[in-house]
Amino acid sequence: MNLQFPYLTSEMTQEIFKSNETLSLESGESLPGFQLSYTTIGQLNEAKDNVVWVLHALTGDANPHEWWSGLIGEDKFFDPNRHFIVCANMLGSCYGSTQPLDENPRTGEPYYYDFPTLTTRDLANTLELLRQNLGISQINTVIGGSLGGQVALEWAFTLGDKLKNAIIVASNAKASPWIIAFNEAQRMAIEADQTWGEKHPNAGKRGLETARAIGMISYRHPKTFILRQGETEEKTDNFKISSYLRYQGLKLANRFNAFSYYKLSKAMDSHDVGRSRGGTEVALQHIKARVLAIGVDSDVLFTADESQFIAHHVPKGTYREINSIYGHDAFLIEYEQLNYILKGFYLESNFAS
């Protein structure tokens, strides 16, 4: 599909990009073709310089106007009346892109546990193939948080002069042992589910509930739980936080699957922009885009100093910080601060005016 200016509208469209070419992966494995579900909203202007590419987090989808509603939409910072906004569901995710529950063309059966290992570099490479297919020669901005920020940074390295701005929110240049530890504990919870190992779409579902509960602990700051789940009466059981974590686990398990969660958390662990490029600092120095790295002061998962590291080692880096009690999840909550930070970053180019 090649995008041509006269045919675009400001309404959101949902499309499928299909590649029949074998996709070679960093692991040495391959996929015999793949597809990505993606959305576009807004119009490509005549200068074709208003593309904003949004990358979602671990369990996100291609509808950023829903999960980043404070930033994306009419009269929001990224407004489809001014910007052409693209968002693709990442490879391995279960919202329309090729994932472990899909049929393996080589066997005629679902992949299940045979779905190949993915890295953030693999995910960035599939987005690059989609960009080329859409005929987009220049991207004004890529923006992503958490896993989306990792993939955005990887893609920024390969895009070179084709990218003007990269906004990396609550993310890092290399997965830390701390993040890998949390993800490994979550995968262990999935593996402990007695159904894990069965070839069934719901295999590992109860384990996924536990995994999500573990994840929620890392997504928030202790002060958040005190404020929102603290007790006002004396008790010895049935605590608010207990029911909250169980609810969050069940909520995710009803909309996601353990296979995609397992593979995408592995991809997050793999993240290292410096791998085979001379190391992290050297790789960051080769990124040509302006980079805005946004940290969260209370983030205990992707710590603020990891965002600072990115800003300090890219040639055109800026660091800004969100002050919040919400921990890692602040990048999805603190819209007023995000808008303020973005306005300052784009002030010189007048991109958001």
Cβ 81 vs Cβ 283: under 8 Å: no
Within 10 angstroms of residue 250's Cβ, the number of other Cβ atoms is 15
Residue 308 lies in a domain: yes
**322 and 246 in one domain?**
no
- Stated pTM of the model: 0.95
CA 34 to CA 307: how far, in whole Å?
32
Q: What residues in the chain have per-residue pLDDT under 70?
A: 1-10, 348-353
Residue closest to 267 by CA, chosen among 175, 169, 204: 175
Phi and psi for 139 in degrees, rounded to 5? -115, 125
- Per DSSP, the three-state class of 351 is coil
Domain end position, chosen among 214, 240, 267 = 267
Number of domains making up the chain = 2
Residues in the chain: 353
- What pLDDT does residue 232 have? 85
Q: Which of 267, 301, 320 is the last residue of a domain?
A: 267
Last residue of a domain, which of 247, 267, 287?
Answer: 267
* C-alpha 88: how far from chain center: 10
Give CA–CA dist 190/259, Å, rounded.
Answer: 9
CATH classification at residue 58: 3.40.50.1820
Annotation marks residue 299 as catalytic: yes
Q: Are residues 250 and 188 in the same domain?
A: yes
Torsion of CA 103, 116, 186, 299, to 10 degrees: -110
Instruction: Verify that 157 and 303 share a domain, yes or no.
Output: yes
Residue 194 sits in the same domain as residue 332: no
CATH of the domain at 227: 1.10.1740.110
**Cβ pair 38, 15 in contact under 8 A:** yes
Torsion of CA 198, 219, 342, 73, to 10 degrees: 50
| Same domain membership, residue 191 and residue 237 | yes
Q: Which of 83, 221, 313, 328 is catalytic?
A: 328
> Are 224 and 95 part of one and the same domain?
no
Label residues 36-50 b or e (16+ Cβ within 10 Å = b).
bbbbbbbbbeeeeeb
Q: What's residue 9's pLDDT?
A: 47
Q: 234 and 249: one domain?
A: yes
Query: Which domain range does residue 257 map to?
Result: 179-267
Tens digit of each residue's pLDDT (9 = 90 or more) over 218-227: 999 999 999 8
User: Do the beta carbons of residue 167 and residue 310 sit within 8 Å?
Assistant: no
Answer yes or no: is 351 within a domain.
no
Residues 170 and 197 in one domain: no
63 and 22, same structural domain? yes
Give DSSP secondary structure letters for 38-75. Answer: EEEES---TT---EEEEE--TT--S-HHHHTTTTBSTT
Q: Which of 193, 269, 299, 329 is catalytic?
A: 299
Q: Tell me, yes or no, whether 85 and 11 share the same domain.
A: yes
State the catalytic residue, choosing from 146, 171, 218, 307: 146
Indicate the residue type of 47.
A
CA 4 – CA 256 distance, rounded (Å): 35
Q: 338 phi and psi, to 5 degrees?
A: -60, -45
CA distance 176 to 154: 16
The whole-angstrom separation of Cα 132 and Cα 86 is 13
**What is the reported pLDDT for 351?**
59
Does 185 share its domain with 171? no
Asked if 184 and 168 sit in the same domain, the reply is no
| Residue 353 within any structural domain of the chain | no
- The vertex-91 CA angle with 87 and 92, nearest 5°, equals 130
